[in-house]
């Protein structure tokens, strides 16, 4: 597997600019030259019904550019799909495709847009998970091209290449995985098993208008001005950790991959290719408000380390409803894996059962879910 990460500058979503940047990446990435006669699936990051300017979803100009690049390399067919959070059915999927701009792109470029919403189980051969249920196009394609968006994430710190594959799991079944693995460490292990099961061909990252702060949906757009490509998803995510000033071991799935010997502990800058000078730390990039917890496991005396997990659970940031902004739509209750949210006019979280997965934060359409940290952490 090619362990290089290729970078190209793109100062805007002007279609000509994006087309040129994506083509530069395809010309450098060895895996992109093996698409002739293949059934290609493009898997963007949609998450929920958001317009492109909110920087939550993969921009339609990026999807259009990749469709064109794939077609130039002789693919037999091109299909686009994602399974956003929440209920997974054709009507909702069509609505999200329309708002995100992908419906127009696929119609104009002649790419198929999947709306059948079928899925089936497949063996994973993973360390923790023996089988996954995946949306059918993921299992039927010859090559899956992952199209993640560069964003921070309330639970995992980073939402990019590896995390975007969670959208291969249909609809509300994602909440079931959060319930099955409520702690970050095992959830990270599950994502690494999923990566091995899906076996994506390569990733093309939309890092033009990224998102910082309380992502993946409640953050703030930030112009970064680049696109990137990699066959090795873990290498891409390591490179992004370097750029966002995140310690890779603090990202649950990267920590799992490091523990399994699948990737190094940090990105080797010698692997930054193309316009590799773009792979540099971004000053002042805001991480999620949930991301400032003290690492008690490293700091606690040996004699009391047995108590560290309980202390961390007690002090960990948790989601809270902003009653002033809440519109009572019920999206948070719908996605909550533990069913800890009730809606009676306004939403209410029952904190005793909350597993702090922040799924509710992801799905809230009006940013009415904030993060509350212990007053003790604020003093540390």
Residue 296's CATH number: 3.30.70.20
Residues 222 and 305 in one domain: no
Residues 240 and 300 in one domain: no
Residues 237 and 329 in one domain: no
Residues 97 and 208 in one domain: yes
Residue range of the domain that includes 337: 292-379
Helix (H) / strand (E) containing 221: strand 220-230
Residues 82 and 135 in one domain: yes
Say what the pLDDT of residue 305 is: 44
Say what the pLDDT of residue 184 is: 92
Judge whether 284 lies within some domain: no
Contact 191, 252 (CB under 8 A): yes
d(CA 215, CA 358) in angstroms, rounded, equals 10
pTM: 0.86
Judge whether 100 lies within some domain: yes
Contact 61, 108 (CB under 8 A): no
Say what the pLDDT of residue 337 is: 80
Judge whether 311 lies within some domain: yes
Residues 100 and 220 in one domain: yes
Residues 192 and 49 in one domain: yes
Number of domains composing the chain: 2
d(CA 276, CA 226) in angstroms, rounded, equals 11
Q: Which of 159, 150, 275 is nearest to 209 (CA)?
A: 150
The tens place of each residue's pLDDT in the chain, 380 residues long, gives 999 999 999 999 999 999 999 999 999 999 999 999 999 999 999 988 999 999 999 999 999 999 999 999 999 999 999 998 888 999 999 999 999 999 999 999 999 999 999 999 999 999 999 999 999 999 999 999 999 999 999 999 999 999 999 999 998 899 899 989 989 999 999 999 999 999 999 999 999 999 999 999 999 999 999 999 999 999 999 999 999 999 999 999 999 999 999 999 999 999 999 999 999 999 999 999 877 543 434 444 555 444 445 545 555 677 888 899 999 999 889 888 888 899 988 999 888 778 778 888 878 888 888 777 554 444 44
The last residue of one of the domains, among 212, 244, 278, is 278
Residues 298 and 160 in one domain: no
Say what the pLDDT of residue 139 is: 98
Residues 225 and 366 in one domain: no
Residues 6+ apart with CB under 8 A from 206: 45, 58, 59, 62, 147, 148, 149, 150, 227
The last residue of one of the domains, among 278, 312, 345, is 278
The last residue of one of the domains, among 221, 247, 278, is 278
Residues 89 and 113 in one domain: yes
Say what the pLDDT of residue 318 is: 78
Judge whether 285 lies within some domain: no
Q: What is the pLDDT of residues 270-329, one digit of tens each?
A: 999 999 999 999 999 999 987 754 343 444 455 544 444 554 555 567 788 889 999 999
Distances (CA, A) of 98 to 60, 114, 177: 11, 13, 28
Say what the pLDDT of residue 260 is: 98
Judge whether 283 lies within some domain: no
Residues 63 and 205 in one domain: yes
Residue 223: HSE in the Cβ half-sphere, 13 Å Cα cutoff: 6
Judge whether 158 lies within some domain: yes
Residue 138's CATH number: 3.40.50.11440
d(CA 95, CA 217) in angstroms, rounded, equals 18
Residues 25 and 156 in one domain: yes
Judge whether 76 lies within some domain: yes
Judge whether 14 lies within some domain: yes
Say what the pLDDT of residue 209 is: 98
């Amino acid at each position: 597997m090619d362990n290089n990460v290729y970078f190209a500058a793109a100062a805007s979503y002007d279609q000509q600019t994006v087309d040129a940047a994506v083509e530069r990446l395809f010309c450098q990435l060895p895996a992109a030259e093996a698409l002739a006669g293949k059934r290609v699936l493009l898997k963007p990051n949609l998450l929920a019904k958001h317009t492109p300017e909110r920087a939550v979803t993969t921009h339609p100009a990026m999807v259009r550019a990749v469709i064109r690049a794939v077609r130039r390399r002789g693919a037999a067919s091109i299909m686009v799909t994602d399974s956003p959070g929440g209920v997974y059915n054709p009507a909702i999927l069509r609505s999200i495709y329309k708002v995100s701009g992908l419906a127009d792109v696929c119609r104009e470029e002649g790419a198929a847009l999947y709306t059948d919403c079928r899925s089936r189980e497949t063996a994973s051969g993973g360390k923790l998970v023996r089988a996954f249920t995946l949306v059918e196009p993921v299992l039927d394609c010859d090559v899956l091209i992952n199209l993640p968006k560069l964003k921070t994430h309330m639970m995992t710190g980073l939402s990019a290449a590896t995390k975007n594959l969670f959208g291969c799991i249909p609809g509300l079944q994602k909440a079931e995985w959060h319930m099955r693995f409520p702690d970050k460490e095992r959830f990270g292990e599950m994502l690494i098993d999923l990566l091995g099961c899906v076996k994506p061909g390569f990733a093309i990252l939309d890092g033009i208008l990224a998102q910082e702060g309380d992502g993946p949906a409640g953050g703030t757009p930030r112009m970064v001005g680049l696109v990137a490509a990699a066959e090795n998803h873990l290498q891409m995510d390591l490179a992004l950790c370097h750029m966002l000033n995140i310690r890779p071991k603090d990202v649950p799935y990267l920590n799992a991959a490091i523990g399994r010997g699948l990737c190094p502990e940090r990105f080797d800058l010698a692997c930054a290719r193309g316009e590799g000078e773009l792979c540099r730390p971004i000053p002042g990039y805001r991480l999620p408000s949930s991301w400032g917890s003290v690492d008690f496991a490293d700091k606690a005396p040996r004699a009391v380390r047995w108590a560290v997990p309980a202390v961390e659970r007690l002090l960990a940031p948790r989601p809270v409803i902003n009653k002033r902004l809440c519109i009572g739509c019920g999206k948070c209750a719908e996605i909550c894996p533990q069913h800890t949210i009730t809606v009676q006019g306004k939403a209410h979280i029952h904190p005793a059962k909350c597993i702090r997965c922040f799924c509710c934060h992801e799905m809230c359409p009006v940013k009415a879910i904030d993060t509350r940290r212990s007053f003790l952490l604020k003093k540390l």
